[in-house]
Amino acid sequence: MNQKEFWNGKFIRDGYLYGKKPNAFIESCASNFKKAHRFLCLGEGEGRNAVYFAKRGFEVAAIDASDIALKKLEEFAKEEGVYVKTRCRDLNEWTPKKKYGSIIASYLHMYKEDRKALFDKIDSCLKEGGFLLESFFL
């Protein structure tokens, strides 16, 4: 089973699996992010963080392996009157094409053997002086 199938199996249920409120730790760090910079959410799922930052005026893009989660993200963004650019990709197959000033990953469960390659990609697309935030709790 690939990541898309695995996560679609979880997000197919009604409702928002992780809720609509942003990750509390990421929210508590929000003042560190600069609006002038592109904002990227990795493994963003149904969009609780992406919508939070889009509502605060950030230009936000979100990548996730699950097309079902991203559909919910788009619906949520629409309800809130904001736009989030979405891309359905397995991050193991993702090639960054732009630079970002802010990158977040909330509860992104990558296999241990895939993490270094992802960090190398993040390193290649994070602007100098940019900010990466990972949260594995809240």
Which parts of this chain interact with ligand SAM (CB under 6 A)? Answer: 3, 7, 18, 23, 43-45, 48, 64-66, 69, 90-92, 106-110
CB of residue 52 vs ligand SAM: minimum separation in angstroms? 11
Comparing CB distances to ligand SAM, the nearer of 36 and 91 is: 91
Q: How far is the CB of 135 from ligand SAM (least distance, A)?
A: 8
**Measured from the CB of residue 85, what is the shortest distance to ligand SAM in angstroms?**
15
Which one, 59 or 64, has the nearer CB to ligand SAM?
64
| 120 Cβ contact list (under 8 Å, min separation 6) | none
Pairing relationship of beta strands 126-135 and 39-42 according to DSSP bridges: unpaired
CB of 38 to ligand SAM, least distance (A): 18
Asked if 33 and 102 count as a contact pair (C-beta separation under 8 A), the reply is yes
What is the DSSP secondary-structure string of 67-105?
HHHHHHHHHHHHHTT---EEEE--TTT----S-EEEEEE
